[in-house]
Homo-oligomer: A and B are copies of this chain.
């Protein structure tokens, strides 16, 4: 292979843009892709397995890891701590995997600032109207929650310029194809060419 090192893909999207469904379908068409497993201080829910859904740790252990710089990003959500560890990324790359981190814009910007090389992808809804329609279609949130999510969506969308790619999820199949295409294209960028492979194959 001309490019063997795994690539880290960071995918962000406002709630309702369809990121979860996209990432799920993406795993089916990209078998070499693994989702990184986060550390969390949240208690396991029934059926959740340590080291499969999350690495469950207590707050003391988590803050020790923060202090020793073991996370490429971490955040507090509803009073619980969540983070992506460097060790987890290394573990997956050592297995020859491509790695996807599905994360909000603040987490993505932390990864960017950490200097970890990665490909940053932002998923956009087709419009604010369509986003609102999708959020209301869930029927699980009340009006205030929907307004809060829409406000948060605008804040997240404001960060799109910090990403490498922006994919509009106006048509699911087209968006999935674009996401997959970005990953395949990135594997073929000249900077990822294995110079030793070139030397062996072409003597140059």
Q: How many positions in chain A have a CB within 8 Å of any CB in the partner chain?
A: 36
**Cβ of A184 under 8 Å from chain B:** yes
Q: How far is the CB of A193 from chain B (nearest CB, A)?
A: 5
B158 and A204 contact, CB distance less than 8 A: yes
A33-41, A95-103, A160-168: which lies at the interface: A160-168
B166 and A193 contact, CB distance less than 8 A: yes
B160 and A193 contact, CB distance less than 8 A: yes
A18-26, A64-72, A73-81, A175-183: which lies at the interface: A175-183
B165 and A190 contact, CB distance less than 8 A: yes
Of A158, A165, A185, most buried by chain B (CB within 10 Å of CB) is A185
**Cβ of A186 under 8 Å from chain B:** yes
The CA-CA distance from A165 to B188 in the complex, in Å, is 5
A154 and B185 contact, CB distance less than 8 A: no
Q: Which residues of B contact A161 (CB under 8 A)?
A: 190
A185: contacting residue among B126, B128, B160, B182, CB under 8 A: B182
B166 and A201 contact, CB distance less than 8 A: no
A201: contacting residue among B128, B178, B185, CB under 8 A: B128
On whether A154 and B188 interact (CB within 8 A), knowing A2-B168, A166-B2, the answer reads no
On whether A189 and B165 interact (CB within 8 A), knowing A124-B2, A160-B198, the answer reads yes
The CA-CA distance from A188 to B154 in the complex, in Å, is 20
